């Protein structure tokens, strides 16, 4: 991976500290220090927006020198209208719309209980660093990288932006999903259980075990109808779950293949069976010493191993690329993914220049048909699948499996987020993949990992948020609530992206690599970091046109902030007036943006939103990547059309 790469971490943001931990996990040699020690390092990671004027001057000189890869992680970036804003994680959650998606419809916007934008920025920054290291190794190009917390936050809104694109108003949905139902937290005899469905088959299974005649009502006959009548649907589902214990309901859902699970507190992670099995050392420390600032380091967010026990006869040779082509030009990727995690990985690999072939089922990925969209394809699918060639295969058919084998024989990477064991049942276990392509990087993303206490349990984002501690830390009036964004999916995909690009950044590969990502591992890593490194307090306060977020200094608590808000009479002011009034009182406040308001936000339009075309020439709103490589930039260009059966299985014939 990044063995031998020397990195200097020089910055005070959480993202710099977290990035250092991740880069060490990827094999780099990381040192914390200042500019005086800059010589002798390959990469320098900084956070210029929270640096002193003298430090910013030194950072500018380092960027101009072109002798180091300099990665600068800031709140809003060098060209943003808010340039210089020393924004905290919570403030970025607020101004990006991320905060307004979290919480219940009847309540206030909720601050996500982990520093989501800092964590996301750390993951994207490390992936971009690995890409830049690869470019330097292969082409001798040294470049700078800019990563923004604002861009990372906006990139996480793919579930909500489609409504905004269709000129709709985006609201908070609590523990529901805006496009799927049933999907919620339901009361049981002894607590709560998260149940998530996304397909008609999963709906039929829940309907059968619930045995409520009312569920056959025409109001629930289609996904669109179920979403439209979700209040009535959830009440009927809860009449069933309330007759069972949480454990009994989890077991029933596992038996029928529907994602479900309990809400686990961070302190109870050590007793959660899968976490304890996979992270015995961390569980023991939590039991004996509690959670401290470094407990999260005992949890690995990705695991790597040799693909097979058979060594390759010769190293893998990197394909030549033009000097200013994308960092992954010449890399060939096969993605077997759906919804968010694997598609997010494929999207970024494609933006970085790789040729990505996405394998879909014969009728196409389910998310294609979600609304809203255009020309029969959802905006959600478009946002997550830019720049891919899509092929429809029925992997239950021998001919199509043979076709996949031919694709894999010439691929560098396979990434999938199928249920653990599903690909092996089709004849593509690790040994088989090693025989097809001994140098393949095979990345498996799943809810609970390959080595798991729940080998047959499916998982969706909300279940992982519940079982990984994220919901315990994110509360509305004391009640656990999921991140509005698909946080576990997104962070799991980012972990996979980092691991894959780090593998590609290393010297010539001689053995194939297996990369395992457990989304629960990633969620628990985030939750443990947040628990051991608490943030400053803050509150959301209502105004006449929305909410503002007030943040404390080291001397103010939530009660003091509420008193300031009352004195400023925020409840009768607009957000802009409230921010100004609070500033006069020496209180830091920012408006809480609504997602649909981003479409008119100049920073969002300039720095985040872009436009791509599909094969028919139609325009689509898409998102830029939140990291900028100065000389080999990542590019988002095209939206795929319907999946096709190509005449040739060779990558050379595929247009990207």
Banded model confidence at residue 177, pLDDT cuts 50, 70, 90: confident
Q: What is the pLDDT of residue 580?
A: 96
Label the pairing between strands 413-416 and 441-446: parallel
**Mean of pLDDT values over 489-493:** 98
Banded model confidence at residue 311, pLDDT cuts 50, 70, 90: low
Cross-sheet strand order for the sheet of 546-551:
538-543, 546-551, 588-592
Please, are residues 612 and 620 in contact by the beta-carbon 8 Å criterion?
A: yes
Q: What is the pLDDT of residue 322?
A: 75
Please, are residues 190 and 245 in contact by the beta-carbon 8 Å criterion?
A: yes
Torsion of CA 378, 382, 383, 389, to 10 degrees: 150
Residue closest to 508 by CA, chosen among 348, 312, 334: 312
Q: What is the pLDDT of residue 649?
A: 44
Place of tokens 């802009």: 576
**Mean of pLDDT values over 491-520:** 94
Reading the block at residue 20, the tokens are 């250092």
Q: What is the pLDDT of residue 87?
A: 92
Distance CA(145)–CA(136), nearest Å, equals 13
Q: What is the pLDDT of residue 314?
A: 59
Label the pairing between strands 69-74 and 43-46: parallel
Handedness of CA 194, 198, 201, 207 (dihedral sign): positive
Reduced to 3 states (helix: H, G, I; strand: E, B; else coil), residue 554 is coil
Higher pLDDT, residue 472 or 312: 472
Q: What is the pLDDT of residue 38?
A: 79
Query: CATH topology for 6-74+112-155?
Result: Rossmann fold (3.40.50)
Banded model confidence at residue 654, pLDDT cuts 50, 70, 90: very low
Residues 137-170 pLDDT 10s: 999 999 999 999 999 999 999 999 999 999 999 8
Distance CA(576)–CA(487), nearest Å, equals 29
The gap between the terminal CA atoms of the chain, to the nearest Å, is: 27
Residue closest to 305 by CA, chosen among 511, 508, 448, 445: 511
Is the per-residue pLDDT at 553 higher than 90? no
Residues 218-247 pLDDT 10s: 999 999 899 999 999 999 999 999 999 999
Please, are residues 486 and 417 in contact by the beta-carbon 8 Å criterion?
A: no
Q: Residue 616's CB: how many other CB atoms inside 10 A?
A: 8
Higher pLDDT, residue 128 or 178: 128
**Mean of pLDDT values over 374-380:** 94
Report long-range pairs for 247-250 (Cβ below 8 Å, ≥24 apart): 248/188, 249/186, 249/188, 249/193, 249/195, 250/193
Q: What is the pLDDT of residue 554?
A: 61
The domain ranges of the chain are 6-74+112-155, 183-261, 303-463+470-493+506-532+634-645, 538-594
Distance CA(157)–CA(179), nearest Å, equals 13
Average pLDDT of the chain is: 93
HSE-CB at 384 with a 13 A cutoff on CA atoms is 32
Residue closest to 498 by CA, chosen among 651, 295, 282, 345: 345
Distance CA(170)–CA(97), nearest Å, equals 10
Is the per-residue pLDDT at 542 higher than 80? yes
**Mean of pLDDT values over 623-642:** 96
Query: CATH topology for 183-261?
Result: formyl-coa transferase, domain 3 (3.30.1540)
Banded model confidence at residue 653, pLDDT cuts 50, 70, 90: very low
Residues 253-290 pLDDT 10s: 999 999 999 999 999 999 999 999 999 999 999 999 99
DSSP string, 575-614: HHHHHHHHHHTT-EEEEE--GGGGGG-HHHHHHTEEEEE-
Question: Dihedrals φ, ψ of 415, to 5°?
Answer: -125, 135
Q: Which helix (H) or strand (E) holds 479?
A: strand 479-480
DSSP code of residue 180: B
The yes-or-no answer to whether 6-74+112-155 and 303-463+470-493+506-532+634-645 have a common fold is: yes
Question: What kind of architecture, by CATH, is found in domain 303-463+470-493+506-532+634-645?
Answer: 3-Layer(aba) Sandwich (3.40)
User: For residue 325, how far is the Cα from the chain centroid?
Assistant: 26
Is the per-residue pLDDT at 313 higher than 90? no
Q: Is the peptide bond before 182 cis (omega within 30 degrees of 0)?
A: yes
User: For residue 441, how far is the Cα from the chain centroid?
Assistant: 21
Banded model confidence at residue 392, pLDDT cuts 50, 70, 90: very high
């Amino acid at each position: 991976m990044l063995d031998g790469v020397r990195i200097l971490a020089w910055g005070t943001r959480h993202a710099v500290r977290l990035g250092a931990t991740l880069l060490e996990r990827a094999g780099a040699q990381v040192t914390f220090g200042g500019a005086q020690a800059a010589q002798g390092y390959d990469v320098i990671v900084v956070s210029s927006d929270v640096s002193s004027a003298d430090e910013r001057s030194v950072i500018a000189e380092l960027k101009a020198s072109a002798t180091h890869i300099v990665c600068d992680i800031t709140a809003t970036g060098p060209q943003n209208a808010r340039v210089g804003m020393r924004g905290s994680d919570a403030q970025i959650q607020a101004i990006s719309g991320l905060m307004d998606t979290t919480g219940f419809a009847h309540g206030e916007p909720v601050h996500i209980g982990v520093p989501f934008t800092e964590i996301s920025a750390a993951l994207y920054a490390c992936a971009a660093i690995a890409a830049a290291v690869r470019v330097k190794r292969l082409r001798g190009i040294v470049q700078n990288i800019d990563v923004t917390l604002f861009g990372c936050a906006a990139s996480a809104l793919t579930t909500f932006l489609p409504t905004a694109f269709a000129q709709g108003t985006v609201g908070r949905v609590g523990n529901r999903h805006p496009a799927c139902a049933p999907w919620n937290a339901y009361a049981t005899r002894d607590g709560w259980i998260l149940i998530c469905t996304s397909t008609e088959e999963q709906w039929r299974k829940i309907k059968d075990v619930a045995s409520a005649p009312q569920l056959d009502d025409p109001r629930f006959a289609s996904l669109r109808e179920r979403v439209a009548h979700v209040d009535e649907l959830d009440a009927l589902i809860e009449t069933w779950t309330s007759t069972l214990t949480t454990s009994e309901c989890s077991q029933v859902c596992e038996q029928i293949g529907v994602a479900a699970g309990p809400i686990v507190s961070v302190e109870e992670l050590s007793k959660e069976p899968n976490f304890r099995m996979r992270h015995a050392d961390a569980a023991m420390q939590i039991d004996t010493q509690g959670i401290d600032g470094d407990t999260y380091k005992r949890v690995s967010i990705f695991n790597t191993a040799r693909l097979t026990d058979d060594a390759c006869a010769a190293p893998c040779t990197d394909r030549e690329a033009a000097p200013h082509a994308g960092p992954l030009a010449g890399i060939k990727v096969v993605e077997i993914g759906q919804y968010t995690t694997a598609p997010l990985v494929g999207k970024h690999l494609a933006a970085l220049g790789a040729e990505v072939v996405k394998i879909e089922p014969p009728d196409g990925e389910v998310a294609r048909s979600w609304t809203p969209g255009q020309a029969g394809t959802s905006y959600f699918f478009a946002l997550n699948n830019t720049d891919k060639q899509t092929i429809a295969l029925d992997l239950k058919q021998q001919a199509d499996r043979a076709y996949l084998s031919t694709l894999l024989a010439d691929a560098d990477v396979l990434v999938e987020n199928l249920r653990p064991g599903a690909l092996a049942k089709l004849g593509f276990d690790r040994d088989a993949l090693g025989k097809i392509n001994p140098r393949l990087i095979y990345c498996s993303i799943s809810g609970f990992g390959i080595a798991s206490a729940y080998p047959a349990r499916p998982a969706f984002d909300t279940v992982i948020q519940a079982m990984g501690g994220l919901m315990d830390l994110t509360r509305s009036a004391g009640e656990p609530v999921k991140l509005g964004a698909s946080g576990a999916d997104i962070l799991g995909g980012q972990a996979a992206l980092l691991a894959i690009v780090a593998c590609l950044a290393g010297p010539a590969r001689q053995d194939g690599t297996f990369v395992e990502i457990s989304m629960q591992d990633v969620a628990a890593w985030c939750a443990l970091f947040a628990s051991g490194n608490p943030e400053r307090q803050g509150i959301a306060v209502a105004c006449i046109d929305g909410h503002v977020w007030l943040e404390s200094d080291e001397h103010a608590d939530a009660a003091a902030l509420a008193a300031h808000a009352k004195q400023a009479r925020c409840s009768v002011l607009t957000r802009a007036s409230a921010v100004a009034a609070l500033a006069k009182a020496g209180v830091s406040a920012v408006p809480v943006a609504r997602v649909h308001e981003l479409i008119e936000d100049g920073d969002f339009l300039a720095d985040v939103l872009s436009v791509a075309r599909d094969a028919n020439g139609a325009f689509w709103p898409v998102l830029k990547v939140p990291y900028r490589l100065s000389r080999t930039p990542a590019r988002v260009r095209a939206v795929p059309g319907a999946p096709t059966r190509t005449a040739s299985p060779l990558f050379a014939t595929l247009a990207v």
